[in-house]
Amino acid sequence: MVDSLRTHSATRVPFSVEFNPPRDAAGEARLWRTVREFERMHPAFVSMTYGAGGSTKDRTARITGQLAQHTTVLPVAHLTAVGHSIAELRALIGSYADCGIRNVLVLRGDPPGDPLGEWTRHPDGVEYADELVRIVRDLGDFHVGVASFPQGHHRSPDLATDTARLAAKLRAGADYSITQMFFDVEHYLRLRDRLVAHDPIEGAKPIIPELMPITSMRTVQRAVELSGRELPPAVLERLRKAAGDGPEEDRAAVRAAGIEIATEMAQRLIDEGAPCLHFITLNFAKATSEVLTNLGYAVTAAPLSA
């Protein structure tokens, strides 16, 4: 994956996209349309999440395998430790390799049900993501990514400890990290500075910022709630203003403000030397494509899914 970042033109910062395993046949048909739309835009990679509590194990593996075998995109499969024994995790990693997946984003995962609830280790599983990084590394020549948290992980006691744990995860064999989504670029820049100051070697590894172009108040509020963080007041204010005072939210205005915010953040990240821009897509191409167009990327003129 990191190599694929290097092959892109120095004048254009690569971008990548995140998909979720679809819930049903209609969702799957839409996902494949979206994949084809993005394929024409040449993302550096596409990642496929792993449902909370390991709930989408089979779908994540099947669809990521199909991406590897039947498309020209480079797939990254998310893999979470939650609810799995080490034997199950090894079998799953083997099945990833069997269908041509070479890139894995290694995560601990959140407890099923309430993501912010009590974490319980599987009796034969792992406690932290760094252990799973070592297991994946031992099983093959995988490129491994891990999660990083611009405002610190919600279970970390402080930012210094959070930084030390991220460095340990990278040292365990990860090649790069992808951040939790954020809405204040300063948080990303401070994470990067903290990591370099803590460990210059691990700090040199790419930290890929994750962006969510906001298309509705409800979607962003839910996503932010699940992350255990809050929207910065300035962003919230801008969205509320766009939503208006009427009984119905002005959805078009909220969406326009969301695209504008994502564009401004992406431009700042490019100016600050981010190695890649990773977009949460919710399996739609249009919002990400609008942000890329605003940034001057050449994107397809074909009609895009909402």
Ligand X SMILES: Cc1cc2nc3c(=O)[nH]c(=O)nc-3n(C[C@H](O)[C@H](O)[C@H](O)COP(=O)(O)OP(=O)(O)OC[C@H]3O[C@@H](n4cnc5c(N)ncnc54)[C@H](O)[C@@H]3O)c2cc1C
User: Which amino acids are annotated catalytic?
Assistant: 18
Q: How far is CA 145 from CA 18, 141, 148, 156, 284, in A?
A: 14, 13, 10, 20, 24
Piece of the chain touching ligand X by CB under 6 A; list 2-10, 38-46, 122-130, 198-206: 122-130
Per-residue tokens: 5: 């970042």
CB of 41 vs ligand X, minimal distance in Å: 20
CB of 242 vs ligand X, minimal distance in Å: 27
Sign of the torsion angle spanned by Cα atoms 199, 48, 266, 233: negative
The residue from 78, 143, 194, 286 that contacts ligand X (CB under 6 A) is 78
The residue from 13, 73, 76, 147 that contacts ligand X (CB under 6 A) is 147
Question: How many CB atoms lie under 10 A from the CB of residue 19?
Answer: 24
Question: How many CB atoms lie under 10 A from the CB of residue 237?
Answer: 11
Size of residue set near ligand X by CB under 6 A? 23
d(CA 176, CA 184): 21
CB of 235 vs ligand X, minimal distance in Å: 19
Residues whose CB falls within 8 Å of the CB of residue 272, separated by 6 or more in sequence, listed in order? 185, 188, 189
CB of 169 vs ligand X, minimal distance in Å: 5
Question: How many CB atoms lie under 10 A from the CB of residue 233?
Answer: 8
CB of 245 vs ligand X, minimal distance in Å: 35
| Between 175 and 210, CB nearer to ligand X | 210
Per-residue tokens: 149: 């948290």
The residue from 50, 96, 182, 279 that contacts ligand X (CB under 6 A) is 50
Report angle CA 43, 49, 51 to the nearest 5 degrees: 165
108 lines the binding site for ligand X (CB under 6 A): yes
107 lines the binding site for ligand X (CB under 6 A): yes
128 lines the binding site for ligand X (CB under 6 A): yes
CB of 78 vs ligand X, minimal distance in Å: 3
16 lines the binding site for ligand X (CB under 6 A): no
109 lines the binding site for ligand X (CB under 6 A): yes
Cα dihedral value 16, 6, 169, 157, nearest 10: -60
Strands annotated E in 81-225: 103-107, 143-148, 176-179, 207-208, 210-211
Q: Angle, nearest 10°, between helix axes 217-227 and 233-243? A: 160
| Between 149 and 238, CB nearer to ligand X | 149
The residue from 16, 49, 151, 288 that contacts ligand X (CB under 6 A) is 49
The residue from 155, 218, 222, 241 that contacts ligand X (CB under 6 A) is 155
Piece of the chain touching ligand X by CB under 6 A; list 22-30, 126-134, 197-205, 233-241: 126-134
Sign of the torsion angle spanned by Cα atoms 137, 140, 141, 143: negative
169 lines the binding site for ligand X (CB under 6 A): yes
| Between 147 and 292, CB nearer to ligand X | 147
Q: Kindly list the residues in this chain that would bind ligand X in the complex (CB under 6 A).
A: 49-50, 52, 78, 80, 107-110, 128-130, 147, 153, 155-156, 162, 165, 169, 178-180, 210
